[in-house]
């Protein structure tokens, strides 16, 4: 069900991609995966105030390339690039291979699900009413171009004794449509009453995801088609004459029997009339029809003479 499954994992083969892109043997896979988890936890703690949306980890040929998507790249880089150099050294010690760190800026943090969730949790930790924080985030997302957003908060909201869950939605959030671009993010607010969890779904429109899909050719409109040239027999081009007829009449271009004559319906020996011939005009001289007489076969005549 689209409402229960993780939206990113549900769309991995269609419109989303993995956050860790590398290959490993069965023996090394678990260790490399554990290293990725430690790196993400370290970056989340180290860059808590840098508005980090996501971290992409790649391992090409005994190296590591880490791409950090942040809404505040200046905080990550630091003064004269000092912070990013220290970050490279720390990550190199953890992974044991040379590490290259790239910083990508998030242009619209108001429609990024992870950044929205982090912003709401920071407001909850400052004792701001959860309804006000959620509605303000939804208004900003819809104003910046999101087609739909859903925010859910769960825990001891406003410090009440019994935990509950509340959610708000604005616009469309089609979780079961695979072509829908759904951005999903979670965060936790550690308050004096306990932990409050926040989940955010942002619908940004439909997408095909992969760029290597074959392009679909659309037929040209009628007005853009070139006119057909003249026919070889001199007649103007276009559709066949009579092709637009309707009703039970004869179909245009239909052929008659071989020879061009039609046999009489009464079975008489009248000469067959040619199809398509124009009828004789009244008063015009016309020769009378000649009646054919069938002659007996010679063999039959000889047998009759002997019998006489």
What pLDDT does residue 81 have?
85
* Contacts for 72 with CB less than 8 Å, ≥ 6 apart: 49, 50, 51
What pLDDT does residue 277 have?
47
What pLDDT does residue 207 have?
83
Query: Per the confidence metrics, is the pTM higher than 0.75?
Result: no
pLDDT tens, 119-131? 999 999 999 999 9
Query: Which part of the chain is CATH 3.30.1140.32?
Result: 110-206
- For the 15-107 domain, the top CATH level (class) is alpha beta
Query: Which part of the chain is CATH 3.30.300.20?
Result: 15-107
What's the CATH superfamily of 110-206? Ribosomal protein S3, C-terminal domain (3.30.1140.32)
247 pLDDT more than 60: no
What pLDDT does residue 208 have?
66
pLDDT tens, 176-192? 999 999 999 999 999 99
* Measured distance CA(14)–CA(22) in Å, rounded: 19
Mean pLDDT of 275-303: 55
Position with higher pLDDT, 27 vs 272: 27
């Amino acid at each position: 069900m689209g409402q229960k499954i993780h939206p990113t994992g549900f769309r991995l083969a269609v419109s989303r991609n993995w956050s860790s892109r590398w290959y490993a043997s069965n023996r090394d896979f678990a260790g490399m995966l554990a290293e990725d988890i430690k790196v993400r936890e370290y970056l989340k703690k180290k860059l808590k105030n840098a508005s980090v949306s996501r971290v992409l980890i790649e391992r090409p040929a005994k190296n590591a390339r880490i791409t950090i998507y942040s809404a505040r790249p200046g905080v990550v880089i630091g003064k004269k690039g000092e912070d990013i150099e220290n970050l490279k050294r720390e990550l190199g010690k953890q992974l044991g291979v040379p590490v290259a760190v790239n910083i990508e800026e998030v242009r619209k943090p108001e429609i990024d699900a992870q950044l929205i969730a982090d912003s709401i949790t920071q407001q909850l930790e400052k004792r701001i009413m959860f309804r006000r924080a959620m509605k303000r985030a939804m208004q900003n997302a819809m104003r910046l171009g999101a087609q739909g957003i859903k925010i859910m908060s769960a825990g001891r909201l406003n410090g009440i004794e019994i935990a509950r869950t509340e959610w708000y939605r604005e616009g469309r959030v089609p979780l079961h449509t695979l072509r829908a671009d759904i951005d999903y993010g979670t965060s936790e607010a550690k308050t004096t009453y306990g932990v409050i969890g926040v989940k955010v779904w942002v619908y940004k429109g439909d997408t095909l995801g992969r760029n290597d899909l074959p392009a679909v050719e659309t037929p040209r409109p009628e007005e853009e088609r070139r006119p057909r040239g003249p026919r070889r027999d001199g007649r103007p081009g276009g559709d066949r004459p009579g092709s637009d007829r309707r009703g039970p009449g004869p179909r245009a271009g239909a052929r008659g029997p071989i020879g061009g004559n039609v046999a009489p319906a009464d079975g008489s020996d009248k000469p067959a009339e040619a199809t398509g011939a124009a009828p004789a005009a009244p008063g015009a001289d016309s020769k009378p029809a000649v009646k054919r007489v069938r002659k007996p076969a010679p063999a039959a005549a000889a047998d009759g003479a002997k019998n006489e």
